[in-house]
Amino acid sequence: MRKNDFGHELIKGKIAEIIFELMFRESGKFSVFRFGYEYTEEYLAQHRLKTKFPQVINNISDSPDFLLITEDKSQVYLVEVKYSSRLFKQDMVKIADKLNKRWEPAYLFVVSKDGFYFDPANTIINRKGEIKKLSEKWISQGIQNKNFALAKEFLLDHKHQSKPSG
């Protein structure tokens, strides 16, 4: 592993999150809220040792990246976002299992070299790591194509074969 691989993968994960957020906002079907620990960690980290309920902070530290709410407010989705140049079934099961244990129901969104993938965590587990491509019922093909061009420009340099990050 090269010295700056961690930083490189961290940046790719953040870009994947930005692309997810852009697409789902542009669809007009959802309100999109950042939900992950990284958005509250500065404040929470100050109080981790002082709190009488450290499990609450531990739960938040494993929270998914986004909360999606349908425009009619009838559906709410928790979504973990990852970047992975290649989809390894064992990695998808591991991520989905961790997500599902604490946040069921939750979804996994993956930016990969051949497209966007999106499924409920429990479905990924039941299919032993298979995750389906993002359906047009969620995001139109036009919006997907435009944002996949961004993914190719910023993420998919093909020099690294990376494990999921984000």
Residue 50 lies in a domain: yes
Q: What is the CATH number of the domain that holds 147?
A: 3.40.1350
Tell me the two tokens of residue 32: 């999109």
- Reduced to 3 states (helix: H, G, I; strand: E, B; else coil), residue 119 is strand
- Reduced to 3 states (helix: H, G, I; strand: E, B; else coil), residue 81 is strand
How many percent of the chain have pLDDT more than 70? Answer: 76
Instruction: Give the total number of structural domains in the chain.
Output: 1
Residue 62 lies in a domain: yes
How many C-beta atoms surround the C-beta of residue 35 within 10 A?
19
Q: Does residue 119 contact residue 107 with C-beta atoms inside 8 Å?
A: yes
Full residue range of the structural domain in which residue 113 is found: 5-154
Cα 108 to chain centroid distance, Å, stands at: 6
Residue 161 lies in a domain: no
pTM, 2 dp:
0.84
Residue 10 lies in a domain: yes
| Position 160 confidence tier, pLDDT thresholds 50, 70, 90 | very low
pLDDT tens readout for residues 128-144: 999 999 999 999 999 99
- Reduced to 3 states (helix: H, G, I; strand: E, B; else coil), residue 162 is coil
Residue 166 lies in a domain: no
